[in-house]
Copies of this chain bind each other. A is one copy, B any other.
Amino acid sequence: MLKIGVLGSGKGSNFQSIYDAIAAGLLDAEIRCVAADVPDAYILERARKLGVPAGFIDCAPFKTKIEGDGAQRMLDFLADHDVDFVALAGFMRIVKEPLLSAFPERMVNIHPALLPAFPGLESWKQALDYGAKLAGCTVHFIDAGMDTGPIIVQRAVAVHDDDTAETLHARIQIEEHIAYPEALRLIADGRVSVVGRRVRIAAHPPA
């Protein structure tokens, strides 16, 4: 069973989708805690309402990465809650040491684009501005780069002529809420292995 720590900065809708998949018996995991780098992030309130331990982790002095003392505070928080797997869900910082190496092949993220297209911020807006006809989302392992780690699951979303950034983002999020529990289930079932940059998905759990 995965003992998951969820890291977020915002509303926490992906946290909710993971929580719901567990509650529905679709995913053999437990969310042990939720950590946010923003003190009033709604993900913290959402977690507390569901009875999940939740804490603010101060990542100062950095604004766009978690590194050094802040990363150590995060590690301590995760250890306090007996976490063995980390799921980033709208966590708006690049992961640096000592957090980066603490969960080898046990730390994943979801990104609202078909990577390697449109890494970085507001990727749904990037896709719209580029004129892409397919957008989507990607669940991937964390590595040292920005949105560059080995890919576990991708789901495509059609871009409509009348899409705004908001409507496209909303449709991508619907797919995120399918893709993230699906990727975690594959991992929880022991079906995922990383070979170089490629993620292999076994047809069945190991015997």
Count A interface residues, CB 8 Å: 28
Contact across chains for A116 and B134 when beta carbons are under 8 A apart? no
**A48 contacts partner chain B, Cβ-Cβ < 8 Å:** no
Question: Oligomeric state, in number of copies?
Answer: 2
One of B116, B153, B196 near A117 (C-beta < 8 A): B116
Contact across chains for A131 and B161 when beta carbons are under 8 A apart? no
Which residue of B is nearest A117, CB measured?
A: B117
**A197 contacts partner chain B, Cβ-Cβ < 8 Å:** yes
Give every chain B residue within 8 A of A152 (Cβ-Cβ): 133
Which residue of B is nearest A140, CB measured?
A: B131
Contact across chains for A131 and B197 when beta carbons are under 8 A apart? yes
User: How distant is the Cα of A3 from the Cα of B92 in the complex, in angstroms?
Assistant: 51
Contact across chains for B130 and A116 when beta carbons are under 8 A apart? yes
**A199 contacts partner chain B, Cβ-Cβ < 8 Å:** yes
Which residue of B is nearest A158, CB measured?
A: B154
One of B118, B136, B199 near A134 (C-beta < 8 A): B136
5 smallest beta-carbon distances between A and B, as pairs: A133-B154, A131-B198, A117-B117, A131-B197, A134-B154
Return 21 A-B CB contacts under 8 Å, by A number.
Answer: A114-B117, A114-B132, A115-B117, A116-B117, A116-B130, A128-B198, A129-B197, A131-B150, A131-B151, A131-B197, A131-B198, A131-B199, A133-B151, A133-B152, A133-B153, A133-B199, A134-B155, A134-B156, A156-B156, A161-B200, A161-B201
